[in-house]
Structure 1
Amino acid sequence: MRFGNMAYIPERGDIIWLNLALCCPITSNVKGYPFEVLLQGKQFTGAILSDHIKKFDWKVRKAKFIEKAHPPVLSECIEKLSTLIQE
């Protein structure tokens, strides 16, 4: 972290607000890829593509809540995603 005349540069562990969300897309075309996580929701069924993480400004895109993923589905997504970003 830098202060004074220097621009702030985030470091690992810093908590900052950007109005951005990181999301994984959902597809109805299940192919059995290693990073797919099967989703059997009330509104959506298919596969979450945990390796296709996207960022967007959720306020500009007017994001709206549809339904909540079951905890085991969320855990599997996080586990698969963590294999991509581990040190």
Structure 2
Amino acid sequence: MVAKQYVPATGDIVWLTFSLQAGRKQAGRRPAIVLSPQSYNEKTGLALFCPITSKVKGYPFKVILPPSSRVTGAILSDHVRNLDWRVRRARFEMKAPRQSVAEVRAKIAVLLGSGMSSG
């Protein structure tokens, strides 16, 4: 029997490898939250992620995970990345609280602006 491959889903907190990017500290193997739906992730092999940092500072776009979670720290909601989850070896760790996912989405909506025109 062949084991079904894990496909990331919205709200999953996974461990994955972020590539080193010039001028950025969010590199190496680290936790991240999945924002895109599983159907998109499975079809494209990509997923939208926000990294999670253990350095909880007074940053306006961070979302703090509950201290009782298996993964703790702050989700960097303005560091959205579309990454190949297979190449980055995404490994499921836990499901994020719904409130945390909602907070991340709300902060991203602020960044994108609610009054954006289509042209």
**Structure 1: where are the runs of 5+ without partners?**
1-15
2:90 matches 1:77:
no
| TM-score, structure 1 normalization | 0.74
Please list, as runs of the form range in 1=range in 2, the aligned pairs for 1:10-49 lying within 5 A after superposition: 17-40=43-66, 42-49=69-76
- Largest Rg, 1 or 2: 1
Matched residue, 2:19: none
Structure 1 runs of 4+ with >3 Å offset: none
Matched residue, 1:58: 85
Higher strand share: 2
**Structure 2: where are the runs of 5+ without partners?**
1-39
Deviation (angstroms), 1:18: 2.3
What is the identity, as a one-letter code, of the residue corresponding to 1:80?
Answer: K
| TM-score, structure 2 normalization | 0.55
d(CA) in 1 for partners of 2:95, 2:57: 23
